[in-house]
Amino acid sequence: VAYIGFHGQTILHRPQARFTWQIGNGRALARVTRIAVVDDFRTADVRAGGQGAPLVPLYHAALLRKATFGRPVVMVNIGGVSNVTYVDGDTVIAFDTGPGNAPIDDWMHRHSGRAVDESGAFARTGKVDEKALRAMLDSAFFDAKPPKSLDRMDFDTRAVEGLSAADGAATLTAFTAAAIAKARDHFPEMATTWIVCGGGRHNKTMMDALRARVNAPVLSAEDAGWNGDFIEAEAFAYLAARAVKGLPLSLPSTTGVPEPMSGGRLHGITGR
């Protein structure tokens, strides 16, 4: 292994204040592993006026260059927050779409003690509260033009308070799917295919809800021949290599940074 790309854990993301914070000590990791480490991928972008997120789009675009899907095609990453990468030839557009798994996970932990809604099975037993869903979708964020990004805790989900545990899970699942589908409002053309990676692709209820809302096939990363559990890790290995070479990690069309921007900090190994 030549380099470790170490993203760390985001604990605060406030690009409007030109601040983002990922915990994790790259220098210590390099010392312990005896492998050079690249970390701090977002700071340069944010300090230059970019959103600092999402950062995976250049890797999504690299994967799609070798794929045979028709264009335009959209990659969706459903983690704590969801983001999309729209690719059509040399055009790469990316932005956070809204909530991902975080509100559902928090709801499940609070109401059942479980960490996640496995396969969306619990949400499937509930009923979507359309009034609560409309209230959560009534946010200026969805109308704002990209690039745009979010902190995990940015969305107010008080509209589901008072619902049963199952109905709350169903409504939050529908909220994530609807928020992703609203990304279509910001695409130059309708996408021919949507490919979903990240943990959310395991949620069958969410995948079904997304299919019901977009007028195109919705596939999992595995359907495309990739391992959806590793795409984000692969992306930061890819970005680490780009950082070492001084190549851009983000573009004006992916984070709103003024110009293609490199970044990251390299922690080398003494004597290598």
Helices H / strands E in the chain, number of each: 11, 10
Mean pLDDT of the chain: 94
pLDDT at site 270: 60
Tens of pLDDT, residue by residue over 112-140, are 999 999 999 999 999 999 999 999 999 99
Tens of pLDDT, residue by residue over 28-56, are 999 999 999 999 999 999 999 999 999 99
pLDDT at site 272: 47
CA–CA gap between residue 250 and residue 54 (Å, rounded): 8
pLDDT at position 266 over 60? yes
Q: Identify each DSSP E strand in 149-242 by its residue range.
A: 193-197, 218-220
Residues 197, 76 contacting (CB under 8 angstroms): yes
Q: For residue 39, which phi and psi values (nearest 5 degrees)?
A: -135, -170
CA–CA gap between residue 264 and residue 203 (Å, rounded): 33
pLDDT at site 215: 84
Q: How sure is the predictor about 249, in pLDDT bands with cuts at 50, 70 and 90?
A: very high
Q: Which single residue is written with the structure tokens 């704590």?
A: 80
Mean pLDDT of 222-243: 95
pLDDT at site 271: 46
pLDDT at site 269: 81
> Which of 60, 48, 47 lies closest to 195, judged by CA?
60
pLDDT at position 229 over 80? yes
pLDDT at site 178: 98
**DSSP class of residue 185?**
G
Q: Which residues on adjacent β-strands are paired with residue 12?
A: 21
Quickly count: other Cβ atoms within 10 Å of residue 28's Cβ.
11
> Which of 108, 111, 161 lies closest to 136, judged by CA?
161
Q: Which single residue is written with the structure tokens 């909220």?
A: 175
pLDDT at position 165 over 80? yes
pLDDT at site 144: 94
Q: Between 11 and 272, where is the model more confident? A: 11
pLDDT at position 20 over 50? yes
Q: How sure is the predictor about 152, in pLDDT bands with cuts at 50, 70 and 90?
A: confident
CA–CA gap between residue 26 and residue 48 (Å, rounded): 22
Q: For residue 98, which phi and psi values (nearest 5 degrees)?
A: 145, -150
pLDDT at position 212 over 90? yes
Alpha helices in 24-90 (DSSP H): 26-33, 43-47, 57-65
For residues 45, 46, 49, 53, the Cα torsion angle rounded to the nearest 10 degrees is 80
CA–CA gap between residue 98 and residue 111 (Å, rounded): 23
Tens of pLDDT, residue by residue over 45-87, are 999 999 999 999 999 999 998 888 889 999 999 999 999 999 9
Mean pLDDT of 159-178: 97
Element (H, E) at 150: none
CA–CA gap between residue 247 and residue 212 (Å, rounded): 39
Q: Which single residue is written with the structure tokens 């004006």?
A: 252
CA–CA gap between residue 113 and residue 109 (Å, rounded): 4
